[in-house]
Structure 1
Amino acid sequence: MDLLDESGKHAGHAGAKAGGSHFRLTIVSPRFSGKDQITRHRMVYEVLGPLMQRDIHALAIRAFAPDEL
């Protein structure tokens, strides 16, 4: 897993004013095997739950199964 905070790139953006953060996540998990990208993204959002409501304004996700690397 690699999580990059890109909030600085969005200074002056409406989400930045509200304190929202911008992140880029690259994650590899065997749980993603056989799943399409939409399902993988939903799995990530489910884990993040409340953080998406209050702490994260934007999240770019790159989700892979181990055999895809």
Structure 2
Amino acid sequence: MSKLELIQNALQALEPQHLEVFDESHMHSRGQETHYKAVIVSPQFSGLNSVKRHQKAYAAMGELMQQVHALALHTYTPEEWAQQNAVPASPVCAGGHK
């Protein structure tokens, strides 16, 4: 099972109504399977600020977080996602060249 699939499986603990996980390692200089972006839409985020939402995602990932260099989280409630329905583009890596 790929690391991407492991991340997707781990984040199922948040009972997402929408979940997308992208491997963005190709945009960075640290090698393969190191940088990810996750879009998570879950009712579990209702009433929580972004820090608490991220903490829930990190807790769901557990020890798998130790295998990931970077995880960009975009967390939404279903209501927020209905209004937003799009994710900001990832920035260009400034951490070195391949």
CA RMSD of superposed structures (Å): 1.4
1:3 is aligned to 21
Aligned-partner SS, 1:26: strand
1:46 is aligned to 59
Using the size of structure 2 for normalisation, the TM-score is: 0.60
Structure in which a larger fraction of residues adopt strand: 1
| Residue 83 (structure 2) pairs with residue 65 (structure 1) | no
Aligned-partner SS, 1:49: helix
1:25-40 matches, within 5 Å, as 25-40=38-53
Distance between the aligned counterparts of 1:61 and 1:41, measured in 2?
7
1:20 CA displacement: 5.8
Distance between the aligned counterparts of 2:33 and 2:40, measured in 1?
21
Mapped contact 2:45–2:53 kept (Cα < 8 A):
yes
Percent of residue pairs identical: 40
Using the size of structure 1 for normalisation, the TM-score is: 0.84
Query: What stretches of structure 1 move > 3 A for 4+ residues in a row?
Result: none
Distance between the aligned counterparts of 1:57 and 1:20, measured in 2?
9
